[in-house]
Structure 1
């Protein structure tokens, strides 16, 4: 259902408020540079620091500015099932193509609880769901058997997964467990190449915020089975993938954008702080290595 380079968009702020003008400009640039989808209000979008009203406005602006040129997978996750459902209903009405639903964090639900949570969302909203598994942040792992059970139970509702578990065997496990093609998106830029080789269809990417054209070109090389070109691009991007997490995300990504464009600043919201000097050095070196500055 989804493929290619799909940036998990940063949310620009100016003097503590959502900077709508810059966000619209960022969206246009992303689409012009070849991004094949957009994810507002994910982890990189600092969704955890947005009020519900801000969250919905960011999604609304993204959908409006994209204007059907690329699909919008709107962040809808919450550790409260009812709050996640409220996000999904709003995003469906706003025109999102799907909702990115992270495993409930902090609560640490069992696999039975995860099945109940995602089943409830699938049964009470007709917005397609992209599961988001990121155990390093949620302390909850959506196990392979759980994914398979949910997709078999709701094949028209649960349409994809963003896997940031770091376990590449899961791509094959999901493929073997399902009797249908299932859209698998990498949630780790540095693992995008082997994830694609194993059967993934793209990446919800942090690095694509800063290097959308290179990330789009990398995807095209992988899709064409041009591994020589894909490895060249991967080597060019690899330091950037790591630099994006040289400090608490998305501080390095926002700093990198401010280096690439003078119309973007590096403002973040507490408890995230601006990138440290060490992180800035790592980003500067990675940008130079990638030929972006």
Structure 2
């Protein structure tokens, strides 16, 4: 009896000790340095162009002083440090967390701006997405996500000091996405899939009406309707093209539609597709 009693007591003590250890592992880490020292070291690292080092100090500060004097500023600086360290996924996540945790903070516009910028810059580095030879499979979802996030930022903070840059990047994104849609539509036309080409052209007209690719998109729809044997719809869109673009290269002197020159069977090359047509191998 005494043995069983001792065993139960030992088991109880052991279990309690494990519980204490488990609870203590979730507590805030013991500070090695005063809060301001972590922050100052992070600022020096940023000034010395050592963003990864700054990230470490800022994360240490957050872990050890989660409700300290510098904690909110440190979170904003962490977004910047992660972005400059090339960790765009973490910068985006930190910005989103800041937006959620500090909805009334005076510099919230910066967090919204950096969230969009992280998506935008990250999308430029994912070149492997465009290695596939089929342009219809090339993903522009990150570009579209960045466009929406910049749009969200501008709708909330139209007078922010970051607004001009956001607008410029949205123009670039709008034109890039629209140009990609046209390139894919041409690819479909070349492969005798006019319905798919038509849908791509309509995406540009409906969603990116102020882009530089609308004239090409209208031509895509006209040629697609002709290939689908729908002459009345083709004629209607041709009239829109002539009215909107009186000097269009797709209309001859008699007002007739000039068919679109389609890409050759040879793929134009790696750099053409990853740059959305801005760079070719020729």
TM-score (norm 2): 0.26
Q: Which has the higher contact order (CA 8 A, sep 6+)?
A: 1
Larger Rg: 2
Instruction: Identify the structure with the greater helix proportion.
Output: 2
Higher strand share: 1
